[in-house]
């Protein structure tokens, strides 16, 4: 974590982005449209969520010196996407984290099986 981890970010699951991109490509809109998730979390909160979801509460969260150009806040305005595309993200952060963790666990298991062959 850079600094105290109080900078906010908005995380989005890939299926929500793909859904939004498809809707945008099938529309007549030619101006920029934000396809993000307006739900904000601090980087520190996010790190703790990951640690808790993985089930290893003894993992140490490492901090480093804050980056000068690191924005304090990132929160997309998706009003245009809602209005013109009838789009908004559907996968909440916890569900997305669970799916991502499951994917990586399966990949690690698959790679370990290949090593044993």
**Residue range 12-60, pLDDT digits in tens:** 999 999 999 999 999 999 999 999 999 999 999 999 999 999 987 788 9
Residue 16 to residue 39: CA distance in whole angstroms: 13
pLDDT at position 80, please?
Answer: 97
Percentage of residues in the chain having pLDDT higher than 70: 100
Residue 54 to residue 32: CA distance in whole angstroms: 36
Structural domains of the chain in order of their starting residue, each with its CATH number:
8-116 (3.40.50.720)
pLDDT band at 7 (very low <50, low <70, confident <90, very high): very high
pLDDT at position 16, please?
Answer: 98
pLDDT at position 110, please?
Answer: 93
**Residue 41 φ then ψ, to 5°:** -145, 145
Closest by Cα among 17, 16, 7, 27 to 83: 27
Residue 16 to residue 90: CA distance in whole angstroms: 6
Query: Which letter does DSSP use for residue 55 in this model?
Result: T
Query: Mean of the pLDDT values across residues 59-78?
Result: 90
Query: Residues of 83-98 as b/e, b for ≥16 C-beta within 10 angstroms?
Result: eebebebebebeebbe
């Amino acid at each position: 974590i850079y600094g105290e981890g109080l900078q906010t970010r908005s995380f989005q699951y890939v299926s929500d982005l793909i859904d939004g991109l498809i809707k945008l490509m099938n529309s007549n809109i030619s101006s920029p449209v934000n396809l993000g998730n307006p739900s904000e979390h601090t980087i520190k909160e996010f790190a703790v969520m990951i640690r808790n979801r993985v089930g290893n509460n003894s993992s140490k969260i490492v901090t480093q010196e804050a980056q000068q150009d690191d924005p304090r806040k990132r929160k997309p305005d998706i009003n245009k996407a809602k209005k013109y595309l009838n789009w908004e993200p559907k996968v909440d952060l916890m569900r997305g984290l669970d799916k991502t963790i499951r994917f990586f666990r399966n990949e690690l298991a698959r790679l370990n099986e290949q090593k044993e062959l």
